[in-house]
Amino acid sequence: MTHSLIQASTTLSLKGKNAFITGAASGLGKRIAELYADAGANIVIADLKLQDAQATADAIAKKGVKTLAVAMDVSSEQAVDEGFAQAQKSLGAVDILVSNAGIQIVAPIEEFSFASWKKLLAVHLDGGFLTSRAAVRQMIASGRGGAIIFMGSVHSKEASRLKAPYVTAKHGLEGLAKVIAKEGAAHNIRSNVICPGFVRTPLVEKQIPEQAKELGISEADVIKTVMLKDTVDGEFTTVDDVAQAALTFAAWPSNALTGQSLVVSHGWFMQ
Ligand code: NAD
C-alpha cells in the first residue's frame, strides 16, 4: 500500500520570480511547475510539443500567475536559445531554471545501439548544458542571479543494470552543477541537483514492462525486486516529494545551499 506522503506546500515564496522548467508538460516537471505557481512564480513550460506545453501552461495560468508555453527540444542549441529569448521577451529574465526534460532507454550494454546512447546523452547532458548556459546568461545580465536545479536521479550516485547511458548522464549532471555553483557564486547563482528514486510517471510506467521482458521476470517483480528493493519501506517516491525539494532549492536565499545534491528516494541511496 502506498501511504500518503508529503502534500507539497508553499510556505516558501517565489513571488514575482520567473521559472523556466523543461519537460514540464508531464510528470515531475509538471508538478514542480504547479507548485512553483502556487508559490507565486511566473512559469515557462518548455516541452517537445507546443500543444502539450500549452495545455499545461493554460491550466497553471488559472492559478493567477503569468505563463508561457514554449516548444523546445532541449538537445537543440537553436531551439533552446530561441526559447529562452522568447521567455525573456514575454516575462523578463529567468530567475529559476529546472533542467528536467529526460528520457529513458533500457538495454544491456552489448545490445545498446550507438544511436540510442547518443540520443540519451544529448537530451540529458547537451540539454543540461544548453539550458543552464542560456539561464546563466540571463541571470548574469539581469544582475539578480538565480537558482539552477538539475533533475538528477539516484542514478547520479548508483548504477543499475540496463541503464548505461542514463547512469552516465545522471552522474555527469552532478559535475555540471558543481562547476556552475563555483562559477555562479560571484553572480549569486546557485546550482543544485535533485536525485529522486523511482516515481510513477510515464517515464517509469514505460520501463516496467520493458524491464520485465529484458530480465525475464513479472512486472510485479520488477517493482518489488528491482525498483523498490533497496528502499527502507518499499514505497515509491512521489511527484510531490520531488516538487517540495525543487521548491526548497529554488527559494533558498543564499549561496549556503549550492553545489549540492539531495537524494529523495525512501532511503534507496544513503549519502
Ligand atoms: P515524463 O516522461 O513524465 O516527463 C518527461 C518530459 O520530458 C515529457 O513531457 C517529455 O515530452 C519531455 N522531453 C523528453 N525529451 C525532451 C526533449 N528532448 N526536449 C524537451 N522535452 C523533452 O518523465 P519524468 O519521470 O517526469 O522525468 C523527468 C525527469 O526526472 C527526467 O530527467 C528523469 O530522468 C528524471 N527522473 C525521473 C525519475 C522517475 O522515477 N520518474 C527518477 C529520477 C529521475
Atom from ligand 1 closest to the CA of residue 170: 34
Least confident stretch, 1-5, 85-89, 146-150: 1-5
Average pLDDT over residues 29-36: 98
CA dihedral 92, 96, 99, 101 (to 10 degrees): -60
- Counting ligand 1 atoms within 8 A of each CB, the residue from 201, 231, 265 with the most, and so the one to mutate, is 201
**In whole angstroms, what is the distance from residue 31 CA to residue 56 CA?**
10
Residues 218-259: tens digit of each pLDDT: 999 999 999 999 999 999 999 999 999 999 999 999 999 999
**What confidence score (pLDDT) does residue 11 get?**
82
Please report how the helices 127-142 and 164-184 are oriented relative to each other, as an axis angle in degrees rounded to 10: 20
pLDDT confidence tier of residue 1, bands split at 50, 70 and 90? very low
pLDDT confidence tier of residue 271, bands split at 50, 70 and 90? confident
Residue 98 backbone dihedrals phi, psi, to 5 degrees = -110, 105
pLDDT confidence tier of residue 38, bands split at 50, 70 and 90? very high
For residues 87 and 44, the answer to whether their CB atoms sit within 8 Å is yes
Strand partners, 97: 20, 148
Displacement of CA 213 from its chain's centroid (Å) = 27
- Counting ligand 1 atoms within 8 A of each CB, the residue from 49, 72, 103, 198 with the most, and so the one to mutate, is 103
Residues 107-164: tens digit of each pLDDT: 999 999 999 999 999 999 999 999 999 999 999 999 999 999 999 999 999 999 999 9
Query: Could you give the percent of the chain with pLDDT greater than 90?
Result: 93
**In whole angstroms, what is the distance from residue 208 CA to residue 218 CA?**
9
> What separation in Å is there between the alpha carbon of 143 and the centre of ligand 1?
30
Task: Name the DSSP letter for residue 155.
Answer: G
**Given a cut of 50, is residue 172 above it in pLDDT?**
yes
Average pLDDT over residues 14-41: 98
pLDDT confidence tier of residue 10, bands split at 50, 70 and 90? low
- Lining ligand 1 with CB less than 6 A are 22-23, 25-29, 47-48, 72-75, 100-103, 123, 151, 153, 196, 198-199, 201-204
Q: Which three cell numbers stand for residue 270?
A: 544513503
**Average model confidence (pLDDT) for the chain?**
96
Q: Is 166 a catalytic residue?
A: yes
For residues 84 and 18, the answer to whether their CB atoms sit within 8 Å is no
Using a 10 angstrom Cβ sphere, with 0-12 exposed, 13-18 middle and 19 or more buried, the burial of residue 127 is buried
- pLDDT higher for 3 or 167? 167
Residues 183-219: tens digit of each pLDDT: 999 999 999 999 999 999 999 999 899 989 989 999 9
Q: Is 40 left (phi over 0), alpha (psi -120 to 50) or beta?
A: left
Kindly report the pTM of this predicted structure: 0.96
| Count of Cβ atoms closer than 10 Å to residue 50 Cβ | 15
pLDDT confidence tier of residue 4, bands split at 50, 70 and 90? very low
Closest CA to 129 of 58, 163, 179, 87: 179
> What separation in Å is there between the alpha carbon of 238 and the centre of ligand 1?
14
Element (H, E) at 229: none
Q: Which three cell numbers stand for residue 175?
A: 559535475
Q: Is 92 left (phi over 0), alpha (psi -120 to 50) or beta?
A: left
**What confidence score (pLDDT) does residue 5 get?**
59
**In whole angstroms, what is the distance from residue 245 CA to residue 196 CA?**
10
Element (H, E) at 21: strand 18-22
Using a 10 angstrom Cβ sphere, with 0-12 exposed, 13-18 middle and 19 or more buried, the burial of residue 185 is middle
> What separation in Å is there between the alpha carbon of 26 and the centre of ligand 1?
7
Nearest residue by C-alpha to atom 7 in ligand 1: 23
Q: Which domains does the chain have, with CATH numbers?
A: 3-198+238-264 (3.40.50.720)
Exactly one of 20, 166, 236, 268 is catalytic; name it.
Answer: 166
